Amino acid sequence: MVDAEITITNAAGLHARPAALFVRTAAGFESSIRVRNLSRDAEREADAKSILSVMTLGIEQGHIISISAEGPDETAAIDTLRALAKGNIDE
């Protein structure tokens, strides 16, 4: 299992279009990927491949999220999602 903590910097957070891009990116990996909003409710975990699950986390600008991936492409999944977030999720 590989984990990463990432600060969300784009103004919209992970709402609507940014969340959809995040989920589409996660869905491209075979590994199981989970996400938590450490700034709001660190105990609640969501499937990073489900738009509804991700959006219910209420991830806003400045929030810190934890992403964990487990499976054959776990490192690539974390690296790709980290790069996406650092690139402001194309906002």
Pick the catalytic residue from 2, 9, 10, 15: 15
Placement of tokens 């790709």 in the chain: 80
Domain chopping of the chain, boundaries: 2-86
Instruction: Write down the pLDDT at residue 91.
Output: 62
Q: Is 63 a catalytic residue?
A: no
Instruction: Specify the residue for token string 């999220």.
Output: 65
- The CATH number of the structural domain formed by 2-86 is 3.30.1340.10
Model confidence, pTM: 0.93
pLDDT at position 90 is 66
Residue 89 pLDDT class (50, 70, 90 cuts): confident
Token duo for residue 37 = 């909003």
Strand, helix or coil for residue 25: helix
Write the pLDDT tens digit of every residue in 2-49: 999 999 998 889 888 999 999 999 999 999 999 999 999 989 999 999
Q: What distance in Å separates the CA atoms of residue 17 and residue 13, rounded to the nearest whole number?
A: 10
